[in-house]
């Protein structure tokens, strides 16, 4: 089978990942004389669990700056994507993650290098957190050669090391995630897979099939339902007889988490990793969050909810401003530090945005590139649509 792996195989095998460095702004900590750490209270809801994550979590000043920076980058990345779509530089589908940043950033903060992620089409932020650059994401959305898939995948097909991408088919990523979890168990590498899906996808039959198989084999898989309140244009209450998604695994234990609190999502993920690596099998996590944009860029998002509702969430529950107030009040950072960080992030995204727009598309010679991981056909020729005019297979280093 190795000779017929599609483009994804090469991307996953050759993706150049560097660890996210500590923000440069941390160097200003002594200058502004902030506290070193603070403790915060967290609340969870449990289903068939005897133990829960700690109700208290400690955050250092470096943690606070890193989490704030990453959430800010994700928000600005999506703003840039939105503007590029409106300029018709991005075509096709484009699903934004604005409002849900605390889920991805908090989870990633707790994950280890060996752990893996697969998610749906709202995947731009996860690509960044799993090692991609802002440029590689924006260029991919625009179909340019600097994109992480050479511009051939677009918004819903971004990949990286241990990141099995977005998936354009509603709910289809969940059984794939269970398969990746099986690979973790089979190889004994100690990894845990996080399979993310939305509240709309939670009603798909394949979700329950995947949970059943994962429990039968006690796979190290965390089923993460990002409950942003709406499946396309239908509210969760109108679509689900039971909107308590953390309980819907039945025999699979579950936990409800405030997905607008980056500290809570981090601590819940740490708990999930400990649970799965202890051999207890899968776990369901419901992250209650909110999306500010419509389901996709073609959806204004105001025909099935009011503008007042969106504004109220922005003012009272926004994951970035809430976290900002929390760490300022705790003395972990100062307003000057965050202002300095905001300027740095804005410049980074603006530079990448300009580079993505000016980048070129790949040439037609790459039409048959990366079809196979290892092409075993004679002379690297691929049949293509016309057997009389075969295509030359080439490999492109990412």
The tokens describing 72, both together, are 């800010």
323-367 tens-digit pLDDT: 999 999 999 999 999 999 999 999 999 999 999 999 999 998 888
Q: What is the CA radius of gyration of the chain?
A: 21
Alpha-carbon distance of 215 to 8, in angstroms, equals 28
Beta-bridged to residue 258, according to DSSP, are 288
Alpha-carbon distance of 294 to 302, in angstroms, equals 8
Instruction: Return the C-alpha torsion angle 191, 197, 203, 207, nearest 10.
Output: -20
Alpha-carbon distance of 306 to 112, in angstroms, equals 40
Instruction: Report yes or no: 387 and 361 within 8 Å, Cβ to Cβ.
Output: no
pLDDT for 397 equals 56
- List the helix and strand counts (H, then E) for the chain: 13, 12
57-93 tens-digit pLDDT: 999 999 999 999 999 999 999 999 999 999 999 999 9
Alpha-carbon distance of 65 to 53, in angstroms, equals 23
Alpha-carbon distance of 246 to 257, in angstroms, equals 9
What angle is formed at CA 116 by the lines to CA 189 and CA 242, rounded to 5 degrees? 120
Beta-bridged to residue 47, according to DSSP, are 254
Question: 3-class SS at 146?
Answer: coil
Alpha-carbon distance of 380 to 398, in angstroms, equals 20
Contacts for 238 with CB less than 8 Å, ≥ 6 apart: none
Alpha-carbon distance of 263 to 103, in angstroms, equals 10
The tokens describing 58, both together, are 């400690």
Q: Where are the alpha helices (DSSP H) in 89-172?
A: 101-110, 124-129, 134-141
CB atoms within 10 A of CB 235: 14
Instruction: Report yes or no: 118 and 91 within 8 Å, Cβ to Cβ.
Output: no
Alpha-carbon distance of 100 to 261, in angstroms, equals 10
**b or e along 142-160 (b: 16 or more beta carbons within 10 Å of the residue's beta carbon)?**
bbbbbbbbbbbbbbbbbbb
The helix (run of H) or strand (run of E) holding residue 270 is helix 262-277
DSSP code of 336?
A: H
Please list the pLDDT of the chain residue by residue as tens digits (398 residues): 333 333 333 333 333 333 344 444 444 444 665 679 999 999 999 999 999 999 999 999 999 999 999 999 999 999 999 999 999 999 999 999 999 999 999 999 999 999 999 999 999 999 999 999 999 999 999 999 999 999 999 999 999 999 999 999 999 999 999 999 999 999 999 999 999 999 999 999 999 999 999 999 999 999 999 999 999 999 999 999 999 999 999 999 999 999 999 999 999 999 999 999 999 999 999 999 999 999 999 898 999 999 999 999 999 999 999 999 999 999 999 999 999 999 999 999 999 999 999 999 999 888 888 888 788 888 888 887 888 888 888 887 54
123-138 tens-digit pLDDT: 999 999 999 999 999 9
The tokens describing 236, both together, are 């969760």
Question: In terms of C-beta density within 10 A (0-12 exposed, 13-18 middle, 19 or more buried), how is residue 337 classed?
Answer: buried
């Amino acid at each position: 089978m190795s000779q017929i792996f599609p483009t994804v195989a090469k991307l996953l095998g050759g993706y150049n990942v560097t660890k996210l460095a500590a923000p440069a702004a941390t160097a200003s900590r002594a200058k502004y004389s902030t506290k070193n750490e603070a403790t915060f209270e967290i609340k969870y809801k449990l289903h068939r669990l005897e133990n829960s994550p700690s109700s208290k979590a400690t955050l250092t000043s470096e943690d606070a700056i890193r989490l704030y920076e990453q959430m800010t980058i994700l928000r600005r990345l999506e703003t840039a994507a939105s503007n590029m779509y409106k300029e018709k530089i991005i075509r096709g589908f484009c699903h934004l993650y604005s409002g849900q940043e605390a889920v991805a950033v908090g989870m990633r903060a707790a994950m280890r290098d060996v752990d893996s992620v697969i998610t749906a089409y709202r995947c731009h932020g996860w690509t960044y957190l799993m090692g991609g650059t802002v440029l590689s994401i924006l260029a991919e959305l625009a179909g340019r050669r600097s994109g992480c898939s050479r511009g051939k995948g677009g918004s819903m097909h971004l990949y990286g090391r241990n990141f099995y991408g977005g998936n354009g088919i509603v709910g289809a990523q969940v059984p794939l995630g269970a398969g990746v979890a099986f690979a973790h168990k089979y190889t004994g590498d100690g990894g845990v897979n996080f399979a993310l899906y939305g509240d709309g996808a939670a009603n798909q039959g394949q979700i329950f099939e995947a949970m059943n198989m994962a429990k039968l084999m006690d796979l190290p898989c965390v089923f993460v339902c990002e409950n942003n309140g709406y499946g396309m244009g239908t509210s969760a209450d109108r679509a689900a007889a039971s909107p308590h998604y953390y309980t819907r695994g039945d025999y699979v234990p579950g936990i409800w988490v405030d997905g607008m609190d980056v500290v809570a999502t981090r601590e819940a993920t740490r708990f999930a990793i400990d649970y799965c690596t202890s051999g207890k099998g899968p776990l369901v996590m419901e992250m209650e969050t909110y999306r500010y944009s419509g389901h996709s860029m073609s959806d204004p998002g105001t025909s099935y909810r009011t503008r007042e509702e969106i504004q109220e969430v922005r003012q009272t529950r926004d994951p970035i401003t809430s976290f900002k107030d929390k760490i300022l009040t705790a003395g972990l950072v100062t307003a000057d530090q965050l202002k300095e960080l905001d300027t740095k992030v804005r410049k980074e995204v603006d530079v990448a945005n300009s580079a993505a727009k000016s980048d070129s598309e790949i040439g037609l010679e790459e039409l048959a590139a990366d079809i196979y991981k290892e092409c075993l056909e004679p002379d690297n020729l691929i049949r293509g649509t016309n057997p009389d005019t075969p295509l030359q297979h080439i490999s492109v280093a990412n």
